[in-house]
């Protein structure tokens, strides 16, 4: 458990600063979960809960977990009471194996160290139902185009550097291993479906299904 809430200061301003830029990504995630008819969805490292609010309907059971009390306070303040939020470590989530038919890990892995990344992913695999899907949205290696270079090599690193020294170090390690593609090559052997790229391919949304036993922990 961390000793302080590193998101305490940013939580009240988080959606104001980032919501507009992330909204197309979040809408595509909603479209995918609607397409597969996921009804019991877990958002790991859910932050202020905006994705869950977009996913909300009367048929769904929605759960968000995060370790930041400030982010969760904001999520509870702005969400319908039917969305449940838990303050818990994403590597040890208190639900039975196979509970969820949809699990989302959105912009969380790149800010963690390699051991945490692996543990969070393995926990997601444990919690996924046999026919379920894990959706990961995170940074990808920029394509070989001018605009992708500007976004992926210049603008995004500035944003990540502003998040703090540890965050930026983990981001650089994430990019060094090949970003989302490199991580999954090392950790996953099941089916991968690309949902859609964003920001000239610097961000990818991928769906993982047919989770192998080796990924269930």
Q: Which of 140 and 13 is assigned the larger pLDDT?
A: 140
Does residue 2 sit within a domain? no
pLDDT of residue 213: 47
Window from 27-36, 95-104, 189-198 with minimum mean pLDDT: 189-198
* pLDDT tens per residue, range 27-74: 999 999 999 999 999 999 999 999 999 999 999 999 999 999 999 999
User: Residues, the chain, total?
Assistant: 217
In a domain, 4, yes or no: no
- Inside any domain, residue 5: no
The boundaries of the domain holding residue 157 are 11-215
The upper half-sphere exposure of residue 32, i.e. CA atoms within 13 Å in the direction of its Cβ, equals 27
Nearest to 67 by CA among 55, 40, 81, 85: 85
Q: Is residue 82 part of a domain?
A: yes
Residue 133 in domain = yes
Q: What is the pLDDT of residue 17?
A: 74
Kindly list the distances between the CA atom of residue 156 and the CA atoms of 11, 59, 89, 111, 159, in Å, as whole numbers in the listed order. Answer: 20, 37, 27, 13, 5
Residue with the bigger pLDDT between 200 and 1: it is 200
Domain membership of residue 23 (yes or no) is yes
DSSP for 169-197? HHHHHHHHTTHHHHHHHHH--SEEEEEEE
pLDDT score, position 118 = 97
pLDDT, average across residues 98-109: 97
User: Torsions phi, psi of 16, nearest 5?
Assistant: -60, -40
Q: Which of 45-54, 82-91, 163-172, 204-213 has the lowest mean pLDDT?
A: 204-213
Q: What is the pLDDT of residue 214?
A: 45
How far apart are the C-alpha atoms of 112 and 124, rounded to whole Å? Answer: 15
pLDDT at 162 over 60: yes
Q: pLDDT per residue over 163-185, tens digit each? A: 889 999 999 999 999 999 999 99
Q: Which residues contact 211 (CB under 8 A, 6 or more apart)?
A: 125, 128, 130, 132, 134, 190
Confidence label for 211 from pLDDT (cuts 50, 70 and 90)? confident
- The number of folded domains in the chain is 1
- Could you tell me the maximum CA-CA distance found in the chain, to the nearest angstrom? 47
Q: Position of tokens 């038919």? A: 101
Lowest-pLDDT choice from 8-22, 57-71, 200-214: 8-22
In which band, very low, low, confident or very high, does the pLDDT at 2 lie, cut at 50, 70 and 90?
very low
Q: What is the pLDDT of residue 184?
A: 97
Please give the pLDDT value at position 12.
67
Q: What is the CATH number of the domain that holds 137?
A: 3.40.50.150
Averaged pLDDT of the chain: 92
Q: Please enumerate in sequence order all residues whose Cβ is within 8 A of that of 68, keeping only pairs 6 or more positions apart, or say none.
A: 5, 6, 7, 8, 11, 47, 87
The answer as to whether 38 is a domain residue is: yes
- The answer to whether residue 206 is domain-embedded is yes
């Amino acid at each position: 458990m961390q000793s302080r809430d590193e998101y305490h200061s940013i939580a009240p301003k988080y959606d104001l600063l980032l919501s507009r830029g992330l909204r197309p990504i979040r809408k595509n995630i909603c479209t995918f979960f609607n397409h597969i008819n996921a009804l019991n969805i877990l958002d790991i490292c859910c932050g202020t809960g905006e994705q869950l609010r977009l996913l909300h309907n009367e048929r769904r059971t929605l759960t968000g977990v995060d370790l930041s009390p400030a982010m969760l306070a904001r999520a509870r303040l702005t969400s319908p009471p039917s969305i449940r939020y838990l303050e818990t470590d994403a590597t040890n989530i208190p639900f039975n194996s196979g509970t969820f038919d949809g699990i989302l890990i959105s912009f969380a892995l790149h800010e963690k160290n390699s051991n945490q990344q692996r543990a969070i992913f393995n926990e997601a695999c444990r919690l996924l139902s046999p026919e379920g899907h894990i959706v990961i949205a995170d940074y990808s290696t920029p394509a070989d185009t001018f605009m992708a270079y500007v976004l992926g090599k210049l603008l995004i690193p500035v944003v990540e550097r502003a998040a703090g020294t540890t965050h930026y170090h983990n981001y650089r390690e994430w990019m060094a291993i090949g970003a989302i593609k490199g991580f999954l090559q090392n950790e996953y052997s099941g089916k991968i479906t690309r949902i859609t790229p964003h920001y000239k391919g610097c961000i990818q949304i991928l769906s993982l299904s047919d989770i192998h036993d080796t990924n269930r922990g």
